[in-house]
Amino acid sequence: MCETGEAATATAMSVVGKQLNPVQSSSSCTSSSSSSSAVTATTSGAASASNSSSSSSSCSGSNNDARLSTTTLSAITMGGGGGAASGDVKKESNVTPEDVLHLNKITDDYLCSANANIFEIDFTRFKIRDLESGAVLFEIAKPPSEQFPDGLSIEDTMLAAAEELTLDDTADPNAGRYVRYQFTPAFLNLKTVGATVEFTVGSQPVNNFRMIERHFFRDRLLKTFDFEFGYCIPYSKNTCEHIYEFPNLPPDLVAEMISSPFETRSDSFYFVENRLVMHNKADYAYDGGIIV
C-alpha cells in the first residue's frame, strides 16, 4: 500500500512470519495537525474453487499461536504488477474496478504509475490481530519523524526528503510498491484476522476510496477482498480495521502452498471515484521455521 522510499519499522516480535524486504512508505507527506477520522469499512469477499472468503467489520476470530507478518495484505505494504493478466484491461488511465475484478491471474506489470497517487495517500501504520485471542500478530509503523517532522511545513518536508534521495533511490520509480513475506505454516490455519490501517491524505478530498485485493496461488484465485474506505477530508489522518475471513483451503492445496514458497501472490488496487490511483504487490512463503 505504501509507495516510496522510507523504510517502515516493524514493532511486533515473536511472529510466525517475517518481512524479507523493507516496507516502504508513500512519498506524500501530510500535516501533523491534520484531523483524525475513523473510517468504517464495508467489505465483500470472494474465493475460487469451492472456498468462500468473506469480510466484515465485526470482531471474532481464530488461532492462538499464529503470529504473522501481514496478509495484504498489500494494504499497507507495497506491490507492483501491471499489465492485465487476462489481456483485456484498458489503458492505465481507464482501468476500472470491474476490470481488475475480472483478471484471472496476477498482473505482469503495474496498472498505474507511482505518480497516479495525486491524492497523496500515505499509509503510515499497519497492524494485524487475531480476533479470537486478541493477540497482535504483526505491526509496522512509519516513524512519526518521517511522516511530518515537527516545525516543518508540508513543502519543507517534501523538499528535505527530496534532498536526501540519491541516484540509486530515484533509479526505480516503482521501488516500494512490492514486498515479500515469509510465514510459518501456522499462518494458513488462521480463519479471521483484523487488519488495522492508518493513513493520511493530502490537500484534496478523497471520495469513494476503495481497495480491491486479489490473492492467487500460481494461476488459481484464492480470494478477493473488496473494501470501502469511504470519504476522507483533506489533510486528515484516518484509521479503519478490515476483518478478513479466510477461506477453508483443501489440505492438498495447503501442502502445495507450503512447499512452493513465493508462488502465492497478491495484487492490491486502490481506487478513488473508480479511478485507479495505487497498485501494490506482494508474494508470500509459508515455510518459515521448517527445517529441511
pLDDT in tens, 240-288: 999 999 889 999 999 999 999 999 999 999 999 999 999 999 999 999 8
Q: Cα(149)–Cα(145) distance, rounded to whole angstroms? A: 5
Kindly report the average pLDDT of the chain as a whole number: 71
- % of the chain with per-residue pLDDT over 70: 58
Write out the E strands in 220-274: 220-232, 236-245, 264-272
Of residues 11 and 268, more confidence is placed in 268
pLDDT band at 164 (very low <50, low <70, confident <90, very high): low
Mean pLDDT on 165-176: 59
The per-residue pLDDT for 182 is: 86
CA distance 292 to 288: 11
Residue pair 250/221 in contact (Cβ under 8 Å)? The answer is: no
- Burial (CB count <10 Å: 0-12, 13-18, 19+), residue 109: middle
Whether residue 208 contacts residue 42, with contact meaning beta carbons closer than 8 Å, is answered with no
- Look at residue 285 and give its three-state secondary structure: strand
Which of the pair, 199 or 83, is modelled with greater confidence? 199
Residues 105 and 222: their CA atoms lie apart, in Å, by 10
Q: How many CA atoms lie within 13 A of 130 on its CB side?
A: 22
pLDDT at 100 over 90: yes
pTM for the whole structure: 0.67
Instruction: Give the whole-number percent of the chain exceeding pLDDT 90.
Output: 43
Locate 56 and state its grid cell: 466484515
CA-angle at 5, arms to 179 and 180, nearest 5°: 10
Matching residue, cell 512490492: 178
Q: What is the pLDDT of residues 17-30, one digit of tens each?
A: 455 544 333 333 33
- Which one-letter amino acid corresponds to residue 19? Q
The whole-number pLDDT of residue 153 equals 55
Mean pLDDT over residues 208-228, rounded? 96
